[in-house]
Structure 1
Amino acid sequence: MQPRLQISKHADGFRVPWSLGMLPDGDMLISERAGRLWRAVDSGHKTRIRGLPRIDAKGQGGLHDIVPARDFTRTGTVFLAYAKPQGGGQGTALAIARLAGDRLEELREVFAMSPGSSGGRHFGGRIVEGRDGTLFLSIGDRGDRSSAQDLSRHNGSIIRINRDGSVPADNPFLALPGARPEIWSYGHRNPQGMALDAKGRLWAHEHGAMGGDELNAIRRGANYGWPVIAYGRHYSGAKIGEGTHKPGMEQPAFYWDPSIAPSGLAIYSGRLWPQWQGAFLVGSLKFDHIAVLSRDGSRQIGKIDTPETQRVRDFREGPDGAIWFLSEGKGALYRITPA
């Protein structure tokens, strides 16, 4: 049974908001794809944050995820994902900085995909801080489909690095000649949602083509199949690859057909709505709702479909269990509580 919900606006006036970062004092950091970063306070007032890296805001690329570190209270550290200029193209990059008032200080780039790509789409751009302090970053195939199966390129992968940019000693392809050592998993099309579950396991969803958006449990060294296998078709209607299954390639926990164009991912604690404990919350850019999936991710058990849920881009769960989300369509930040 769908619970009764109350949705209230917290701040608005954003242009293509992309990510929501929750600070320990209750303030919110909100990124805009065009390359602006804002701090919003309880009153709804917002202040622009300066000191960002050089961002190449073209096509689907720009400023993407903004994630405060778990030790933010002590260090002020934030992680940023963005599209950086690389020769004639762009590449997904990850930087670390210290937030001091309305400015980022001590900013340093710790990763940039190699080589860059000229296509203006499929950047990925989500960040997750693992329980061990390592950083995961999603990278799309950049429109170059076959590159997602090429371990000598970062396209179509989820990478894992240490906070200083070095490569963890237990990364799966560290000793494989020619492979990019940062790669944790590959065969992804465009992952725009990642989160850890209550056991610390990494999950991600990704855009399919015409059908075939996927939710996947991300495992070390695993190949998720794109573009060899997929549950969808090319926009032309042509078949993708070899079908839906192939030995050595992972199957999704769940897939959508037709595509919902997923963005943002949260795994809910159940604090305010016990029936949603462990449920996956996924925003739909195409159908303007929040999909609610079962705790094993295998089926959709509900959705939140209101005038406010226009092109839902990102989520966070507050310390009280309230659900916060960004509506790209409304250019606003909203909070969901029980009615």
Structure 2
Amino acid sequence: MKYSKCGFLLWLSFLSPMSISACHAQDKTVDEQHQQAAIAPLSQPYQIKKITEFNEPWALAVMPDQRLLITEKAGKLFVFNPQTQQKIVVEGVPQVAYGGQGGLGDVVLHPDFKQNHIIYFSYAEQGKGGYGAVVVRAVLDEQLSNQPRLMNLQPIWRQVPKVSGQGHYAHRLAFDSAGKLWISSGERQKFQPAQDMQSNLGKILRLNDDGSPAIGNPFIAQGPIAAQIWSLGHRNPLGMAFDAQGQLWVAEMGPRGGDELNRIYKAANYGYSIVSNGDHYSGRDIPDHTTRPEFQAPEISWTPVISPSSLMFYQGSKFPKWTNKALISGLSSQAIIIVDTQTVPVQEVQRLAMKQRIRGLVEAEDGSIWGIEDGKHAALFQLTAPKP
């Protein structure tokens, strides 16, 4: 077994976060101690300003005029104006399957949003066979400034098949510089679908903006579902972002231990549930990545876990020590984890103790960072640089 009793408490910290600090002090693996000894830690100063509260916020996106789109898991989409502090509910959001980890999920802007006003959002829906994520494309109509609404809704992608349970949807969204839509799809706590090419569960998908499979996908000759797939063998990939060079990275929750940051390669198999640096929650062993070199290993993994919930790469100048580094929001870790992906090996270089479960992060035009806490009465906050 790769995970000790105290590591198991970290998983339980989903219910009782008080156990986190004790576990971090007592239950560090030998690999983690070596990793920390090799790190040249950063000391980038920052300030936290809490702005307002939302109820179970899940994702946020910055609009061209610097207003924010914010989703709440129970099914509300808001436009929030930081200048006026005004929250406006967007009409026309479909009914979501709210429960467990399911509900309204991610939201992103079309690359040509300024011209076409198109947004994309994900949510959990119920249907034949159980539950699954769906991605919808819609026009954000703001002709009435006090009552924005969604129009021309088009479902463009669904998890296949729908299954029982309401965990591990993942359903993060991102556009690349070529205008391709990327979707992270969790394996829905069913293990085997992550290796099944006739299912898009446990995969990273690459699509055109209308939801069709993109030309150049590696498995396009293996049928309509496989044609969507870029990489496979993923568990619960809740963070997805491109670095400054256009390389895709994914932060993914491991089982009992072994949270991962993965560099995503075309056609690569990341091994779940055949290999993992964690174990099953039952305590049953999963072979480590080192035992099966044919599977792509993570660039860095964490035991004790960080419970990654989102991923971004900072491109601004307000926090110069973070420029081009990955920022991962953490749930059970109650932290923001800064990772240098340009070092060999990839290393964690700073950890911000937030004292709250953090659900999402996004960079604003001025180089500040917006974030949302997790849960009820969760803060929308802003990270800013201290004044000289």
Of the candidates 185, 190, 198, which is equivalent to residue 144 of structure 1? Answer: 190
Distance 1:177 1:97, change over 3 A: closer
Distance in structure 1 (CA, Å) of the matches to 2:385 and 2:211: 42
Distance in structure 2 (CA, Å) of the matches to 1:4 and 1:39: 30
TM-fit CA distance, 1:16: 1.1
For residues 68-96 of structure 1, give each alpha carbon's deviation from its aligned partner in whole angstroms, at most 9, with x where no partner exists.
12211111111101112221411111111
For residues 148-180 of structure 1, give each alpha carbon's deviation from its aligned partner in whole angstroms, at most 9, with x where no partner exists.
111111110111111112111211111125852
For residues 20-76 of structure 1, give each alpha carbon's deviation from its aligned partner in whole angstroms, at most 9, with x where no partner exists.
111011110110111111111123221111111232112111111011122111111
Distance in structure 2 (CA, Å) of the matches to 1:119 and 1:253: 30
Q: Which stretches of structure 1, 4 residues or longer, exceed 3 Å deviation after superposition?
A: 241-245
**Aligned residue for 1:10?**
51
**Aligned residue for 2:140?**
99
For residues 268-299 of structure 1, give each alpha carbon's deviation from its aligned partner in whole angstroms, at most 9, with x where no partner exists.
11411222121110111002110111133711
**Aligned residue for 2:59?**
19
**Aligned residue for 2:351?**
303
Secondary structure in 1 matching 2:321: helix
- Identity of counterpart residues, as a percentage? 37
Distance 1:24 1:175, change over 3 A: same
**Aligned residue for 1:283?**
329
Of the candidates 269, 272, 284, which is equivalent to residue 223 of structure 1? Answer: 269
Secondary structure in 2 matching 1:211: coil
TM-fit CA distance, 1:242: 6.2
For residues 250-284 of structure 1, give each alpha carbon's deviation from its aligned partner in whole angstroms, at most 9, with x where no partner exists.
01111010111111111111411222121110111
Distance in structure 2 (CA, Å) of the matches to 1:255 and 1:153: 26
Distance in structure 1 (CA, Å) of the matches to 2:192 and 2:214: 26
Superposed CA RMSD in Å reads 1.5
One-letter code aligned to 2:294: G
1:256 aligns with 2:302: yes
Distance in structure 2 (CA, Å) of the matches to 1:178 and 1:336: 43
**Aligned residue for 2:109?**
68
Of the candidates 37, 42, 45, which is equivalent to residue 77 of structure 2? Answer: 37
TM-fit CA distance, 1:186: 0.7
Of the candidates 106, 127, 134, which is equivalent to residue 86 of structure 1? Answer: 127
Distance in structure 2 (CA, Å) of the matches to 1:78 and 1:245: 43
**Aligned residue for 1:331?**
378
Distance 1:26 1:177, change over 3 A: closer
Preserved CA contact (<8 Å) 1:61 1:82:
yes
Distance in structure 1 (CA, Å) of the matches to 2:349 and 2:173: 26
- In structure 2, stretches of 5+ residues that fail to align are 1-41, 143-147
- In structure 1, stretches of 5+ residues that fail to align are none
TM-fit CA distance, 1:243: 5.3
Distance in structure 2 (CA, Å) of the matches to 1:86 and 1:191: 23
Distance in structure 1 (CA, Å) of the matches to 2:186 and 2:225: 17
**Aligned residue for 1:175?**
221
Preserved CA contact (<8 Å) 2:199 2:225:
yes
Distance 1:202 1:242, change over 3 A: closer
For residues 185-221 of structure 1, give each alpha carbon's deviation from its aligned partner in whole angstroms, at most 9, with x where no partner exists.
1100000000011111111111001110100011111
Preserved CA contact (<8 Å) 1:173 1:179:
no
Greater percentage in helix: 2
Preserved CA contact (<8 Å) 2:57 2:373:
yes
**Aligned residue for 1:320?**
366
Preserved CA contact (<8 Å) 2:44 2:322:
no
Look at both structures and tell me which one has the larger radius of gyration over its CA atoms: 2
TM-fit CA distance, 1:240: 1.2
TM normalised by structure 1 equals 0.95
TM-fit CA distance, 1:306: 3.2
**Aligned residue for 1:117?**
163
For residues 88-107 of structure 1, give each alpha carbon's deviation from its aligned partner in whole angstroms, at most 9, with x where no partner exists.
41111111111112111111
Distance in structure 2 (CA, Å) of the matches to 1:313 and 1:242: 28
Preserved CA contact (<8 Å) 1:22 1:29:
yes
